């Protein structure tokens, strides 16, 4: 990063949010009731699929604009949108196959956040070519329709590929996408769930990250989202490849995924960034704090991710800034978050934000000289929040 921290004035670069599914913002708080069986990622996914069936292009744009507004208010100035809701509820493409992608672009432009659009390639429901389920039909593309969606223009931002997961694409599709768009950002969900590791071992005789790295050339353009259950050998391979691990601590905690071994990965100069993923809560500070607290709880120590040269908050922030910029494919050096630096000095300005005040520490946010957030509120909050409220009341009726 060429941007510097100016802690004496409280000015720091905006943090990239490397993994978001914007529409899931509208489900926040609606899945916190235990069902008859034990709840897991997989039961949550069923609820998410039911919710998705109702969303129109207008709904998607309204929800995404609200989520992106909250991201700016929370110190995220760039978002990588892992976008898989492509088609009509019955699975037929809209007249414009990129309709939903263009709604994401429009929402980001309206709000003023930087965007890396990651159209998702989704072909099957499980390892070994299992046919997709009815509830996945809005996500599916063949190579031709996917290539057309990849032509979506993202003014001021960029576009990259997102093979959904090793469950959802064949190895042939993975190789095709990786070679066709080589050099652009490439993101994939991998090793989030132990069941995925077991299924991958059963189908291919290899663990997911080993399989991924044996299939395509993983380099610094890749972001491996979650990687929660990577073993020591897989973590060493990711670090050596200089790829970024996309950690989503709040969502991973909410879904009960598990904990990535961050200390081991950092000891190997591993690179990571953070993402708000399900957007159940939108806060750059909370993502970094939850990341550190997960490690404190499991190791029964304090400042697990800190080092001797700087505070823990500063180390987390600088690592997530560099890793996030690499993963989204943009340094966005004109993005500035101004923090309340009142009573704090040096690294304590960051630590106060990340560990104590959370979003309340954010005074203003600007991009390219334009002030988008003032006194913690987005300049279009009233309009965007009113539209979101209307959308939600119809969806939840």
Which residues of the chain form contacts with Zn ion (CB under 5 A)? 277
The least distance separating Zn ion from the CB of residue 24, rounded to whole angstroms, comes to: 9
Catalytic residue among 199, 210, 277, 335: 277
User: What tokens were used for 65?
Assistant: 């604009």
Smallest distance, Zn ion to C-beta of residue 297, A: 23
Q: By the 8 A CB rule, do 266 and 233 touch?
A: no
Q: Of the candidates 320, 243, 341, which has an alpha carbon nearest to the alpha carbon of residue 234?
A: 243
Written as six digits, the tokens of 28 are 């926040």
CB-closest chain residue to Zn ion: 277
User: At closest approach, how far in Å is the CB of 248 from Zn ion?
Assistant: 7
Terminal C-alpha separation, the chain = 46
19 a catalytic residue: no
| Closer Cβ to Zn ion, 70 or 277, answer by number | 277
> Smallest distance, Å, CB 36 to Zn ion?
26
With 0-12 / 13-18 / 19 or more C-beta atoms within 10 angstroms meaning exposed / middle / buried, residue 299 is exposed
**Based on CB atoms, which residue is closest to Zn ion, 244 or 350?**
244
Neighbouring residues of 214: CB distance < 8 A, sequence distance ≥ 6: 206
Q: Select 212 or 304, whichever has its Cβ closest to Zn ion.
A: 212
Identify the DSSP state of 132.
P
CA pair distance 386, 215, nearest whole angstrom: 47
Kindly report the backbone phi and psi dihedral angles of residue 346, in degrees, each rounded to the nearest multiple of 5, phi listed first.
50, -135
Number of C-beta neighbours around residue 319 at 10 A: 20
Identity of the residue, 20 or 141, whose beta carbon is nearer to Zn ion in the bound complex: 20
Distance between CA 392 and CA 123 in Å, rounded? 30
- State the catalytic residue, choosing from 226, 229, 352, 378: 226
Asked if 277 is an active-site residue, the reply is: yes
Contact 288, 317 (CB under 8 A): yes
Which of 17/311 has CB closer to Zn ion?
17
Least separation in angstroms between residue 196's CB and Zn ion is 13
Where in the sequence numbering do the catalytic residues fall?
Answer: 226, 277
């Amino acid at each position: 990063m060429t941007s510097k921290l100016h802690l004496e004035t409280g000015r720091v670069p905006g943090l990239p949010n490397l993994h978001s599914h914007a529409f899931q913002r509208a489900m926040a708080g609606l899945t916190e009731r235990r069902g008859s069986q034990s709840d897991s990622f997989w039961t949550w996914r069923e609820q998410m699929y039911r919710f998705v069936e109702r969303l129109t292009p207008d709904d998607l744009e309204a929800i995404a604009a609200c989520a992106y507004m909250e991201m700016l208010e929370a110190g995220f100035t760039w978002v990588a949108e892992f976008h898989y809701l492509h088609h009509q509820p019955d699975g037929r493409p809209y007249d414009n196959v990129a309709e939903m992608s263009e709604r994401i672009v429009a929402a980001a432009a309206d709000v003023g956040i930087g965007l890396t659009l990651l159209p998702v390639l989704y072909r099957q429901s499980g390892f070994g070519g299992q046919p997709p389920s009815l509830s996945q039909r809005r996500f599916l593309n063949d190579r031709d329709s996917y290539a057309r969606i990849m032509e979506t223009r993202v003014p001021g931002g960029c576009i990259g590929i997102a093979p959904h997961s090793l469950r959802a694409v064949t190895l042939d599709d993975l190789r095709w996408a990786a070679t066709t768009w080589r050099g652009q950002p490439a993101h994939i969900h991998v090793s989030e769930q132990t069941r995925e590791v077991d299924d991958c071992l059963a189908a291919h005789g290899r663990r997911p990250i080993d399989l991924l790295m044996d299939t395509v050339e993983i380099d610094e353009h890749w972001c491996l989202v979650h990687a929660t259950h990577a073993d020591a050998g897989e973590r060493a391979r990711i670090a050596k490849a200089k790829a970024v691990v996309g950690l989503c601590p709040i969502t991973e905690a909410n879904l009960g995924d598990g904990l990535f071994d961050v200390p081991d990965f950092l000891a190997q100069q591993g690179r990571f960034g953070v993402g708000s993923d399900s957007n159940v809560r939108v806060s750059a500070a909370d993502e970094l704090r939850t990341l550190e607290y997960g490690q404190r709880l499991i190791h029964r120590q304090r400042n697990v991710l800190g080092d001797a040269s700087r505070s823990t908050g500063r180390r987390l922030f600088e690592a997530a800034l560099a890793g996030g910029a690499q993963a989204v494919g943009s340094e966005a050096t004109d993005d500035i978050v101004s923090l309340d630096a009142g009573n704090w000095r040096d690294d304590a300005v960051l630590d106060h934000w990340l560990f104590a005040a959370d979003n309340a520490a954010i005074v203003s946010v600007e991009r390219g000289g334009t002030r988008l957030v003032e006194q913690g509120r987005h300049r279009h909050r009233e309009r965007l929040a009113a539209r979101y409220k209307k959308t939600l009341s119809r969806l939840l009726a």
